[in-house]
Structure 1
Amino acid sequence: MLKNSLYLIFLLGCSINANGQQKDTVVYYFRYNVIKGAKDLLWPTIDSADYFRTILPADSGDDKPNVQEYYINGKIKFVGKAYSNKPTDLRAPEMLLAGEGMCFFPDGKRKQISHYEKGYKSGEEYSYYPSGKLFSRVKNSPGKLYFNVKTAFIDCYDKSGNMICENGKGHWIIYNDDFTKNVFEGPVDKGLMDGVWHGATGNSDSIKYTMTYIKGRFIEGNGTDKDGVSYPFVTESTPAGYKNSPITFVESLDDYIGRKLRDQNGAKISLKDDAEISFIIEKNGTLSNIEISGDLDSGLKEKIKNSPLLQEKGWSPQTRFGIPFRTKIVMSLIVKGHDTRYGIAKYINFNQNIAE
């Protein structure tokens, strides 16, 4: 029934020209990206998607195509227009918005009103609580090339409607997406973060942190884990890594296999493309839960798992607000490459996730 209703929305969104022919309408499906600041994930079908975007022809007398996004429950999520001089971007998830755009909460209530120029926010932006009360007013100023947008904090109101920041001076609160949790707050002066801000993730990791700003510039931070241990940081999050790069690790392991190990017939081991290694980087940098996949006998897999390279502390785990997290790595044991104008570019299949 839900898919039928979404299909009906799609049909209603399509325009009909004077000759009775249907004009082009493009539909994309998306999943939210859990990585802060990253673009949402383009999804192949409506199954498991979080929302979808339709791009419809421009209205009569206007050259800007219409953009509409819907939550999977069929409620409107966003309405706006696209920059008309970039038609190729209308066929891609990274499209350029233009003019006024309005976001809505899943229940259909107004959430935010913004203005866009060539895909970037510009000018005043108003945000609202789910109750309908005004939450904040900020001013966005894009750079000369329309990226590196700077945001000035102007006015902010608490949930009771009290003004806590006026004309760029006072206290500011940042909530999670549905305004159920206060995740970050601190002092503002002349429209910029200025002083010590306090935050908390509110998740099972129970991270609390402080970040110090001077005239909008981040200076230093300190994270505290659920056990009360503190970690200073200068970057909010860092990915897991190996000394020089994961490619160096695979090449070193491949060299060890070629020099030290032989199969049951005494021949050198030839790894297939499907050969992978997985392990967990513990908070102190040691490796655990090492597994080898691929067309190798169990004896050889054990020898690889016991190699000196896998016993040393060459890896560092992911961090959030300075706090290290057990990190699961899955990577290929084959280094590949392709020609570029500057030579051969090496790459491997590599995935990392925080381990529970």
Structure 2
Amino acid sequence: MLRTLLFFLLVIPVLICKAQSESDTLKKHTPGEDDVYTAVDVAPEFPGGPNEFSKFLARNTRYPARARERNVQGRVFVTFIVEKNGVLSNIAILKRLGWGYDEEVIRVLTLSPRWKPGTVNNEPVRVRCTIPVAFNLANGETKTEPIKLPATDTLVQYYKYPAQLVHKKEDADYITLIYPPYKSNPRWHQLRQYYKTGKIKFNGFINQINGNLYLTGTGIDYYQHGFKKSVTTYNERERKDGKEYLYYPNGKLHSEREHDPVSRDWPVRYIECRDSLGNVMTVKGDGQWIEYDELFSKVTRSGPVKNKVPHGEWTIWENDSTQTVYILKNGIKESVKLFLRVENEFHAVDDLPMYKGSLSALNEYVKKNVKYPQLKDSYSDVVYLAVTATPNGQLSNIDVEQSSKDVFNEEAIRIIRSSGPWVSKVTLTKPLKLKIAIKFKNGTAALEYVRL
């Protein structure tokens, strides 16, 4: 939707990957197929150089609405590998800012064109780079010039998915039209988007406040084949306000929700939900609820609702191998349990090889047994480990997959290694490969997550 395209911000990237032209170590080493470097003879480069990279980020980044409204500013530290062919891979957040910024930085980097790869001994190599991306606002608004809306003529813009502005119609996946303002309300403009097939993609309104653009009023999204996808009502600051209707690709109603942007308890109320055949599952806020991904190809969450809020056991599918089960009472979380798909079956993480058979026990072990490094500065970091647990609970192949500061790596490995052997409540036939994230901060350490 166009709201993802019209918020401008100042993005300040600083690329951290070293060029080291006089390194004897590098010159004596023949680059391996999978070696990842942090210091190279020639550093990788975005097409056109750092200034073009800054323009690319600023042009494609969209400002999270909640962060803008609350004037949240700060930096996101992101790491990625520039592959030998210039493609960016292994994009991950090292230091989070929250408020939707972290996800936005990852989204924009996935749009990046191929870079000029880094080299060692004139051979292209894989190079890990780190970027602190700064989001700065002035009085809650952006420091860049606001978009100039049309006074008499229609503004036409071309975009590639998901939200990359391009200059040629033939390069676009969809077209955006912003019409001149209404005479009765000069801040309001009609907004329409069209797929390249000519079919309508979105029809709604935007208004301009202090130079920024916000969806407002009723907006209708459409599938590419022409059926309605959603009908949503927005307030003047693009917060969902009032009724929202979602539709299956076959045109049948999926759900009706009600949004209250000022509610501190439940800003979303669940009114009605149906299956793809039209059978009603939730009536007047009571029944079974199910949600899908954007293409309605996979279930992402499901559970019962009572009095218009989640109540009972809800399952959230993070991906094909990870699901989280929440027990809620009147919308309030009472307990949570993580399940992982191992050998084609989902098992509670506490039933798999785990310290004393409990994820919470492992977390307590980490907290109590950490030997925090003696540091002059107040560092914090998340260390991501790869760990293999055998069916009998022995730990092996404990390696650091990612971290921004090496000072915590050895301690992260030590504390996990010292926790073994683990206990398994299920019988496995193969070793279990896990990813464990440990957060070090203010002299303490704790688990961030455990995943496959």
Range of TM-score over shorter length: 0.5 to 0.7
Q: How does 1:213-228 map to 2 (within 5 A)?
A: 213-227=328-342, 228=346
| Aligned match of 2:313 | 196
Distance in 2, matches of 1:72 and 1:115, equals 26
Cα–Cα, structure 1 residues 280 and 313, in superposed 2: closer, same or farther, change >3 Å?
A: closer
Deviation at 1:288, TM superposition (A): 5.0
Matched, 1:105 2:228: no
Amino acid at match of 1:81: F
Given that 1:53 and 1:67 are in contact with CA atoms closer than 8 Å, whether structure 2 keeps it comes out as: yes
**Which of 197, 201, 207 is equivalent to 1:77?**
201
Q: Is the 8 A contact 1:25 1:54 kept in 2?
A: yes
SS at match of 1:313: helix
Deviation at 1:230, TM superposition (A): 3.0
Q: Please name the residue that 1:287 is paired with.
A: 400
Q: Which is bigger in relative contact order (C-alpha 8 A, separation at least 6)?
A: 2
- CA 1:54–1:249 in structure 2 vs 1: closer, same or farther (change >3 Å)? farther
1:281-331 Cα distance to aligned partner (Å, 9 max, x none):
32457415999xxxxxxxxxxxxx9x8764331799xxxxxx96478xxxx
Match in the other structure for 2:126: none
Report the equivalent of 1:57.
180
Amino acid at match of 1:79: N
Matched, 1:66 2:196: no
Equivalence for 1:240: none
1:148–1:72: structure 2 CA closer, same or farther, 3 Å change rule? farther
The one-letter code sitting in structure 2 at the alignment partner of 1:218 is K
Percent of aligned pairs sharing the same letter: 24
How far the C-alpha of 1:48 sits from its partner, in A, is: 8.3
| 2:9 corresponding residue in structure 1 | none
Question: Which stretches in structure 1 are left out of the alignment for 5+ residues?
Answer: 1-14, 33-40, 90-94, 235-242, 253-278, 292-304, 317-322, 328-354
Residue identity matched to 2:337: N
- Among candidates 206, 214, 230, match of residue 348 of structure 2: 230
Change (3 A) 1:16 1:217: closer
- Extract unaligned runs of 5+ from structure 2: 1-148, 351-358, 361-370, 388-397, 416-432, 438-450
The Cα of 1:189 is off from its aligned counterpart by 0.4
SS at match of 1:65: strand
- How far the C-alpha of 1:44 sits from its partner, in A, is 6.1
Give the whole-Å Cα distance in 2 for the aligned partners of 1:77 and 1:211.
36
CA RMSD in angstroms, aligned pairs only: 4.8
What TM-score do the two structures reach when normalised by structure 2? 0.44
The offset of 1:210, in angstroms, is 1.1
CA distance in 1, matches of 2:256, 2:221: 15
Change over 3 Å in CA distance of 1:195–1:60 after alignment to 2: same
- Could you tell me which residue of structure 1 aligns to residue 249 of structure 2? 130
Distance 2:183 2:317 in 1: 49
